[in-house]
Structure 1
Amino acid sequence: MPSQAQKSKSNSAIAVEELRNLIFSGALPAGSDHLESELAARLGMSRTPVREAALLLEGQGLLQVRARKGVRILPISIEDMIEIYDVLTELESMSAAKAAEKRYAAEDLSTLEITISDMEAALAAGDREAWAAADDAFHTELARLGGNSRVVTIAALMGDQVRRAKAVTLYMRPLPTQSNKDHRSVVEAIRAGDAKTAHDVHYAHRTAAKEVLINLLRQNRMHML
């Protein structure tokens, strides 16, 4: 039988996932306040794993834990997103260059290739949620292929805020066909061992993506309040 600690850890992980989904879907809207007891009842679990999950999500910038007042769901900060995209642009572009320098075999790049195929299939089917999931997987795998564990950690810490902003703007933006083309070009440069092209194409891609996202957030501030 699992120990009490193991059960608590499992429940905390479930609470993190459930709370994240509620925040991303807007069921827990930005600016709203919630007591731990309310959230625990909503998730059908005790307050302890909910508290542990809230502390983790606070560190990821999704909510604020307030003593004796429960939690407040934080709005999407345009300033935060600008800073996050600036950091990710630099780190992921470096990862793309490093991956090219490593001269990976074809099988080593298969996961990256699959994410692009998944993105293309999702767009063909008009499934934006599937596209966003595959896009997240692409960026995660690109960071891993760069071979710097600290880049992977930093990118993961910022990932939730990026996913939340993308979820808010997913149906406001044009179909991201150019994004898929950019991803394909990055992989081709990595496969060819062309570090400069891999870096420059990804840098331009991330810069353009930031401009689209920030403009949409500025035009639709109601979604962040």
Structure 2
Amino acid sequence: MTARGTGLIVGPPSEAIEAKAPSLVEDAYRAMKTAVRDNVFPPGYQGSEQEIAIRLGMSRTPVHEALIRLQEEGLVRVLPKRGILVCALSPADMREIYDLIATLEGLAAELLAGDEALRRPALERLDAINVDMRTALDQDDLDAWAQADDRFHRELVERCGNSRLARAVHTVMDQSHRARMLTLRLRAKPVRSLKEHLAVTSAIRKGDAVKAGTLARAHRQHARDELMPLLETLGMRHL
């Protein structure tokens, strides 16, 4: 707008600009992460910031800042003057990720089981998600099952009272998401996965920290031991 009697263009208050910019970066970050997780930008994809901004319908500045965040999370590499490269994972990377997740989620389950104040609200969410998983399996809806499974593991770590642990798990879960989805329909129907979720939830409800941790670790180890031979059989070297 024009300031009265000056002819100068007056922009929005600086507070409004500062509030808007982080929102644009967050929007770009979420859009780009989703594109990488869902294989819209597959492993090995290389593109300029301008190209990505056009595909996302955004300006380059928030896209640039979002890509820096994604590089910190190991999803992309920022290539000076060349744009970005979507990082590929090897089967060895996947094994490392599952080993790390098993350890951290085991600790998260122990923390939840050992703290009644944390346990009660967490169980409400975990129980509801287990119902969603059972419904998805009954309807043979693997996509809905995968979404519920992802929510279960995120809730487990987000509610354990250790925010650094949760952030670490989220980062490696995002890195491994593509491989899980690529092999979703090549694995056996995940009936055992639901049974193991129910067992972990039951141990948390009883306040049995040792059992909850043991079961949570075993659950991820079983998933690893199912996935790794499948990747080898399919010859999937870049995920």
TM-score under structure 2 length normalisation:
0.85
Equivalent position amino acid for 2:87 in 1: L
Q: Secondary structure at the match of 1:224?
A: coil
Query: For residue 176 of structure 1, what is the aligned residue in structure 2?
Result: 190
Q: Secondary structure at the match of 1:26?
A: coil
Say which of 74, 84, 108 aligns to 1:61.
74
2:108 pairs with 1:73: no
Aligned-residue CA RMSD (Å): 2.0
Say which of 157, 179, 188 aligns to 2:171.
157
Larger Rg: 2
Say which of 51, 56, 75 aligns to 1:38.
51
Q: Deviations over 1:136-195 (max 9, x none)?
A: 211122123432222112112222113222122222211111000000011111111222
Unaligned 5+ runs, structure 2? 1-11
Residue 63 (structure 1) shift: 1.2
Query: For residue 219 of structure 2, what is the aligned residue in structure 1?
Result: 205
Aligned-partner Cα distance in 2 for 1:26–1:18: 12
Query: For residue 139 of structure 2, what is the aligned residue in structure 1?
Result: 125
Q: Secondary structure at the match of 2:185?
A: coil
Q: Secondary structure at the match of 1:65?
A: strand
Pairs aligned (count): 225
Query: For residue 189 of structure 1, what is the aligned residue in structure 2?
Result: 203
Aligned-partner Cα distance in 2 for 1:15–1:164: 20
C-alpha spacing 1:9/1:221, structure 2 compared with 1 (3 Å): farther
C-alpha spacing 1:48/1:219, structure 2 compared with 1 (3 Å): farther
Equivalent position amino acid for 1:25 in 2: D
Q: Deviations over 1:53-95 (max 9, x none)?
A: 1111112221111000011111122222222211111111122
Q: Secondary structure at the match of 1:72?
A: strand
Say which of 79, 97, 101 aligns to 2:110.
97
Are the aligned partners of 2:126 and 2:201 in contact in 1 as well (CA < 8 Å)? yes
2:27 pairs with 1:14: yes
Aligned-partner Cα distance in 2 for 1:17–1:130: 20
TM-score under structure 1 length normalisation:
0.90
Are the aligned partners of 1:119 and 1:131 in contact in 2 as well (CA < 8 Å)? yes
Say which of 16, 21, 37 aligns to 1:24.
37
Q: Secondary structure at the match of 2:186?
A: coil
Residue 21 (structure 1) shift: 2.5
Task: Give the share of equivalent positions with the same residue, in percent.
Answer: 37
